[in-house]
Amino acid sequence: MAVLRFFTSLFSFGRGLFAFLFFLGLSYAILHSSVKQKMVIADVAVSTVLYPAQIVVNKATTWHHLETENKQLKEANARLRIENDLLHQGFFKALRVQKLDSFGLDYKDSALLAEVVAKNPGRLQTSVLVNLGSHDSVERNMPVFTPDGLVGKISKVYDNHALVQLMMDPQNKVSVLENRTRISGILESPDSRKLFVELPAHADVKVGDTLVTSGLGGIYPKGIRVGMISRIFPGDIDVMKKAEVIPFQNPSEIEEVFVLKKKIDWIVREYAE
């Protein structure tokens, strides 16, 4: 084993010595060779020793450029996607606002356009928050609606925001009028899921009839669209009957609303609280 280690060390030492002597001789030959011979040696060195290294360097540089370009393309694609999404949303918002504006011409300066900025968490839609408040002359009990129909009323007012109590809130009762028969009734939601109107038992109402605000109670002006009767059944007492109402304005689809700056003439406490 000792002999084997000796020859191995000698071989390793001899290989290093050989390499040293080879490059020493090569350097001496290059120094004492002619210009033409130096050019030949340089060509051979480039084509045999440096060329593979140059290939590796070129590939690494190309890969780096491709990676940088790919990253830039991904960033540009992401920006374009965001811009496209924003333009898409802006287009449909412009259509909604145009619809609101055309509807609001009848009210001129008495109606304020507001944007919904927050909604109730969960499935029960009883209130939303809009981006107008006392600084915008918004007051409690002002009616809130869209071109499709009634939404509710302002229940709380802050400096720059206001809380809208929706018709689906069991605490919110609305006096309504059936368009065809002109029979009035009280609209409310017992469970925040469905709307019902209580009407006199003799009322000749039918499925498909429409309801509007009656103007009674002093909060909602007369004539705002409310909903359509979808089902009729007996009431809790013989002289009354109930009808289920589908609102014209789906509360889950509200994005922009009108707040009517209406001076309340008088308020029945039962409706206002």
Domain boundaries, the chain: 111-272
CA 162 to chain centroid: 21
Distance, CA of 252 to CA of 202 (rounded, Å): 34
Provide the 8-state DSSP code for 239: T
Radius of gyration of the chain (CA): 41
For all residues of the chain together, what is the average pLDDT?
76
Q: Which of 124 and 22 is assigned the larger pLDDT?
A: 124
- Say if residues 164 and 129 touch (Cβ distance below 8 Å): yes
Longest dimension (CA), the chain: 126
Provide the terminal-to-terminal Cα distance of the chain, rounded to the nearest Å: 104
Q: Is the pLDDT of residue 157 over 60?
A: yes
- CB neighbours of 27 closer than 8 A, spacing ≥ 6? none
Q: Which of 90 and 164 is assigned the larger pLDDT?
A: 164
The phi, psi pair for 99, rounded to 5°, reads -65, -40
Q: And the tokens for 10?
A: 């000698």
CATH number of the 111-272 domain: 2.40.10.340
Q: Of the segments 80-89, 101-110, 134-143, which one has the largest average pLDDT value?
A: 134-143
What value does the mean pLDDT take over residues 46-59?
59
Strands 111-119 and 127-130: antiparallel
- CB neighbours of 220 closer than 8 A, spacing ≥ 6? 143, 150, 153, 174, 175, 213, 214
Q: Which of 218 and 230 is assigned the larger pLDDT?
A: 230
Q: Is the pLDDT of residue 270 over 60?
A: no
Bridge-partner residues for 247, per DSSP? 227
**Least confident stretch, 8-17, 105-114, 158-167, 215-224:** 8-17
Q: Is the pLDDT of residue 271 over 70?
A: no
Q: Whose CA is closest to 160, among 192, 198, 204, 112? A: 112
How would DSSP label each residue in 164-192? EEETTSTT--EEEEETTT--EEEEE-SSS
- List pLDDT tens digits, range 236-253: 888 889 999 999 999 888
- Say if residues 259 and 219 touch (Cβ distance below 8 Å): no
